[in-house]
Amino acid sequence: MTTHKIDRRTFLAQTAAGAAALSFPHLARAADPLKIALIIPKTGPFASTGRQLEAACRLYMAKNGDTVAGRKVELLVKDDTGTQPELTKRMAQESIVRDKVHILAGFGLTPLAFAAAPIAT
């Protein structure tokens, strides 16, 4: 029996892609792209976490394709600096209203995810 180890990047990329594919089976019109807002810290003290998350998502898309259920995936990467929950919440709101994203993802730190939770629901 062969054991299979998965590194953190692969796990995060597969989890994000799986959640995206399974969370929204009711999305309309297969011709429209599936937009995912990846709100991560790209600058500031937690920039390395954001770089790893983005690299994992891009690697997964490069290896497995950028379509889900026949729809092209658009990854919109936004920098929340990793230190301001109010900024993360505003970016989530703008992503939904202005960019018309279908999925919010990323959130390098738990307080930032909690700040965006009311917007996601």
Secondary structure letter of residue 1 according to DSSP: -
Nearest to 48 by CA among 59, 56, 60, 37: 56
Q: Which domain holds residue 60?
A: 32-120
Does the structure show a pLDDT above 80 at 11? no
Residue 56 within any structural domain of the chain:
yes
Over range 52-80, report the average pLDDT: 94
Residue 17 within any structural domain of the chain:
no
Q: Show the CA angle centred on residue 4, arms to residues 11 and 54, nearest 5°.
A: 20
Question: How many folded domains does the chain comprise?
Answer: 1
pLDDT of residue 78: 96
Residue 21 within any structural domain of the chain:
no
Does the structure show a pLDDT above 90 at 52? yes
In contact, 86 and 22? CB cutoff 8 Å: no
Report d(CA 69, CA 72) in Å as an integer.
9
Q: What is the CATH number of the domain that holds 88?
A: 3.40.50.2300
Does the structure show a pLDDT above 80 at 2? no
Report d(CA 115, CA 53) in Å as an integer.
19
Residue 11 within any structural domain of the chain:
no
Report d(CA 92, CA 86) in Å as an integer.
10
Residue 7 within any structural domain of the chain:
no
Residue 44 within any structural domain of the chain:
yes
Give pLDDT tens digits for 82-93: 889 999 999 999
Residue 70 within any structural domain of the chain:
yes
Residue 4 within any structural domain of the chain:
no
Global pTM exceeds 0.85: no
pLDDT of residue 48: 93
pLDDT of residue 24: 55
Find the radius of gyration of the CA atoms of the chain.
Answer: 15
Does the structure show a pLDDT above 50 at 94? yes
pLDDT of residue 31: 76
In contact, 19 and 106? CB cutoff 8 Å: no
